[in-house]
Structure 1
Amino acid sequence: MSGDPGGLSTSSEAADLWSRYLHLQLGRRSGAAQALREVHRADPGFAVGRAAAGLLVVLAGEDSFDAAAEVSAARSGLARHDWERSFVSAVGSTADAGLWRAAPQWLDHHRSFPADLIGFQVAAFVLLHSTRPEAPEQVAERIRVSLDAVGEHPLLLGMSGMLAQERGDLAGAHRLASRALELDPSGFDGGHPMTHVFLESGEHAAGLSWLEEWLPTADGRAPFSGHLAWHAALHELALGDPDAALARHRQCATWPGAGGLVDGASLLWRGQLWGHVPSGTAPWGVPWADTLAALAGGVPTTFLGVHALLALAAAGDVDGLRRMAVDSAGFTAPGAAELLPPLAEALAAFVSGDVGRAVDLLLAEEPRVARYGGSHVQRAVVEDTLIEALVRSGRVEEAATRLRLRLDRRPVAPPA
């Protein structure tokens, strides 16, 4: 069973419930927290189960558990196997010292126990958000190791598909996504890379049609469903239907926490860039104030910091952007102090109408955008901003050249 290399220190009832929890958690489905509470009910002393609850708090913001209580229970719980003790220790370090100080421990844990797919998820996350250029290949190697340990799994196939489409290998990404969907037809692990294949190949009508047929089969209560709605909105923008795209904005933006901020801010900013929404406004209120306030003193990842800046830009908050330009120089998340200040200055210049300076700053930042994390489709919003700044500053031919290059470099890979 994926997630219990070497066995589980619990009853058969709790082990079955743990298997259900893994299916929900690894597949980014709704109900994982409730499933974990059922595990606790069956065996309150199951150390890995209690540690998993603590991990949901510190990494996913699941506030129905108390992180300190869960970690304490995990440390005093039953863990007969080496992998269980390693997992509990890594979760405890994360709760005590934060993810980035605990990151080396998670990488060691995965190296020792590659069949633990929750451990793999955390290890892959810290690598992909490290802002290091070599991170994708490091994750690819860890996927290979875990595939050897557990065999085909939708999580591993789907992540391989995402890495393939980032490299421009759309045929490979399509094959991997298709296999993940064969194993789990309604799972996001296959659905997500498949949507990227359509977007990167420019097959917007086909991509939208595929999503509209597939999305009703997926878990609509899962926060990740909002991200797939964001993908559908990008297709609609490309097809010249901004009203349909903006109608999806509520679904993208209203999920609590980081997911709603990332997708909602990116879509709203694009809508403003292209004149579909007045600058500094939203079609309806967006619940980002608390999230942005929590990020004022530091961000967990540079990727989330980038989208906090887009949210400020979409709000027309030049002062907020300039404060972030100063404050983010002291942020400790990998790459944040280096990468966020110049982007904040560029967006502040754009929003304030100094498009010439925005162009200069965005051109200087361009070589480093790939380090932000996330996907090419997500990072493309920075190039979208640069192209619009070029147009507004009268450098129309440069903007047109960039648009032609974007079309020319689009790989052709029919996603059928």
Structure 2
Amino acid sequence: MACVDNYGLPLSTASDKAARLYRDGVALMLAAWPGAAETLDTALEADPDFALAHAARARLHAMRAEPGEAHARIVIARQKVASKGSEREQSHVEALALAITGQSQKALEHALTHAERWPQDTVILSLPLGAFGLFAFSGRADHNQARVDLCERHARHFNADDWWFLTYRGWALAENGAAYRGRAMLERAFELRRENANGVHALVHAMFEGGAGDEAEALIAGWLPDYDRSGILHGHIAWHAALAALERGDADAALALYADHVQPSASQGTPINIVSDAASLLWRLKVYGHALPQGLWQQAADYARQAFPRPGHSFIDPHMALIEAATNQRAALAQRITMLEERIGNGSLGAGWVVPAIARAVQAFVEADYAGCVRILEPYAEDVVRIGGSGAQREVIEDTLVVALMRGGEIEKARALLDRRLHRRPSPRDARWRAQLTA
């Protein structure tokens, strides 16, 4: 029998062992579960010419923010698939190569075209999906809807109990305002495969969007101990628990989770998660008026400077701005803003003017210029979605606006914004703030 992947798509390998290990390795990769790299390496021992196994290894390196290794491996995949690969496999490798070499728009277009012909090629269909996928980082304001549309378009090609598709369809729906429908799919995905960090992560997002922070905390507390710390999402899922603790006003619990799982010295996640999680959680604590232990901001700043030495990433730059503002690095922040504006001028920053606007606004906030913060940020409030990431991640910017409105004495505007937020997502923190404004 011909060797096939998890969806019956033919593979250009004559080794049943290599094909079996490839199927297992890809499933682990799509679940963000430890062991994918070792499994794929063993597949390549069984067949060193197996192009898609090389491509999957390249994808794993990219996910782990190892660009040198990813580039080297995708070169091998391209060489192997050119001499021994089907049309689908050649297209598969090309989509990954475009993404790995930073050609994001071309990668998105190629992935969408590829999915029209081979929708069950989940490694490629996954590229536009998720909070850090090609749609999210496209600079588009409608990326949440775009993910829903993509999943709905291809839903007929997946059975009702496909754990991977349920994960990404449910997450797309939850992020796009259908939290309860999305949560039902994600709970089913969790039942089907408990060892699925992407699924648990997405389910926590659905709970957050549905105002069920207590349930998210309970889920994480019961599940996280079984997810090895080397798992790519371990620290980030703990960040979600810290966020839920902050929502109910327990800063001590949030700080304990930060110390044990989230801070740069504790997390084994990717730099994009480590920096954004540290910056946004510490900033929330600051904005909410909680005291921070000495050294936390500086540790985050030291790590962030090494991880992202140059501006130009629409999601990371706002988080770098939070760190620079909080640590009084005025010159660095001013230089970042200048460089971001230059990138906008040459068309290389897809999210546009909202990115430097956030940087200017947080600087005004730390200087207690709350009116200035509001004046800068308010016109861009609807554009914050363009930086990518998830609703839970971006909410830190809106929180800053809410607190600036309250501290600046613009009570009616603060009430109106809180009312809209509470209508969209029940939040005990927002309810407390709303009550304070009414008292």
TM-score (norm 1): 0.88
Superposed CA RMSD: 2.7
Inter-CA distance 172–92: structure 2 relative to 1 (3 Å threshold): closer
Match in the other structure for 2:246: 237
Select the residue among 265, 272, 283 that pairs with 1:258.
Answer: 272
- Which residue matches 1:208? 217
Which residue does the alignment assign to 2:35? 31
1:264-290 CA-to-partner distances (Å, cap 9, x unmatched) read 1111110111222359x6537535535
Query: Equivalences for 1:175-214 in 2 at 5 Å?
Result: 175-214=184-223
- Separation in 1, partners of 2:297, 2:355: 28
Q: Which residue of 2 aligns with 1:22?
A: 26
Q: What is the aligned counterpart of 1:85 among 79, 84, 90?
A: 90
User: Which of 344, 356, 362 pairs up with 2:371?
Assistant: 356
| Matched pairs, number | 409
Query: Which of residues 120, 125, 140 in structure 2 aligns to 1:132?
Result: 140
Quick check: 1:40 aligned with 2:48? no
Can you list the C-alpha shifts for 1:332-382, whole angstroms capped at 9, x where unaligned?
655244321111111121123322211111111112122222222211111
Offset at residue 101 of structure 1 (A): 4.0
Choose which of 378, 388, 392 in structure 1 pairs with 2:407. 392
Please report how far the alpha carbon of residue 21 of structure 1 lies from its aligned counterpart in structure 2 after TM superposition. 0.9
- 1:51 aligns with one of 52, 55, 63: 55
Partner residue, 1:108? 113
Amino acid corresponding to residue 85 of structure 1 in structure 2: Q
1:379 aligned residue: 394
Equivalent-residue separation in structure 2 for 1:91 and 1:223 (angstroms)? 19
Aligned to 2:170: 161
User: In 1, Cα distance between the equivalents of 2:150 and 2:411?
Assistant: 44
Q: Deviations over 1:3-32 (max 9, x none)?
A: 665311121111111112112110011232
CA distance 1:294–1:259, shift in 2 (3 Å): closer
TM-superposed CA distance for 1:314, in Å, is 3.5
Q: What residue is the counterpart of 2:299 in the other structure? A: 286
Quote the residue 1:308 is aligned against: 320
Q: Deviation of residue 397 (structure 1)?
A: 4.8
TM-score w.r.t. length of structure 2 = 0.84
Please tell me whether the aligned partners of residues 342 and 365 of structure 1 are also in contact (alpha carbons under 8 angstroms): yes
Q: Distance in 2 between matches of 1:123 and 1:316?
A: 37
Q: Is the 8 A contact 2:166 2:185 kept in 1?
A: yes
Kindly provide the CA deviation profile for residues 70-95 of structure 1, in whole angstroms up to 9, marking residues without a partner as x.
Answer: 23322232533221111122333445
How much has 1:316 moved relative to structure 2? 3.2
The more displaced of 332-341 and 262-271 is 332-341
Aligned-residue identity in percent: 30
The yes-or-no answer on 1:319 pairing with 2:334 is no
Provide closer, same or farther for how the CA distance between residues 60 and 114 of structure 1 changes in structure 2, counting only shifts above 3 A: farther
Residues 252, 46 of structure 1: CA spacing in aligned structure 2 closer, same or farther, 3 A cutoff? same
Q: Where does the alignment leave 5 or more consecutive residues of structure 2 unmatched?
A: 428-439
CA distance in 2, matches of 1:62, 1:379: 26
Q: Given residue 132 of structure 1, which amino acid in structure 2 is its aligned partner? A: R
Structure 1 contact 230–249 (Cα < 8 Å) conserved: yes
| Residues 288/49 of structure 1: CA separation in 2 closer, same or farther (3 Å cut) | farther
Contact conserved, 2:54 with 2:76, CA < 8 A, in 1? Answer: yes
2-structure distance, mates of 1:48, 1:205: 42
- Aligned 8 A contact 1:355 1:389 in 2: yes
Q: Given the alignment, which residue of 114, 119, 129 partners 2:124? A: 119
Cα pair 1:205 1:235 within 8 Å, conserved = yes
Amino acid at match of 2:171: M
Match for residue 343 of structure 1? 358
